[in-house]
Amino acid sequence: MPLPKQRHSKARGRRRRTHWKLKIENFSVCPQCKQPKRAHRVCPVCGTYNGRQVVEIKVKEKKKPR
């Protein structure tokens, strides 16, 4: 396994890593419920994709106070 002949400085390594950043997700608006959703994915609020109901979303029932 080859070894480096000289030590790289901290600045050189950090300069190389400047492009290791996370990208911001692109959001679009759901045409059914008008909530923001990730592009090319099923809407997590209403469960539609491309104008069709794909996933059935269950609504949580509120607990009754005793």
Task: Per-residue pLDDT tens, the chain, 66 aa: give them.
Answer: 788 899 999 999 999 999 998 888 889 999 999 999 999 999 999 999 998 999 988 877 888 887
Integer Cα distance of 53 and 46 in angstroms: 8
**DSSP per-residue letters across 8-46:** PPHHHHHHHGGG--PPPPPEEE-TTT--EEETTS--TTT
Integer Cα distance of 42 and 47 in angstroms: 6
Place of tokens 């959001």: 27
Q: Give Cα separations from 54 to 5, 12, 26, 51, 58 (angstroms).
A: 58, 50, 21, 9, 13
pTM, full prediction: 0.57
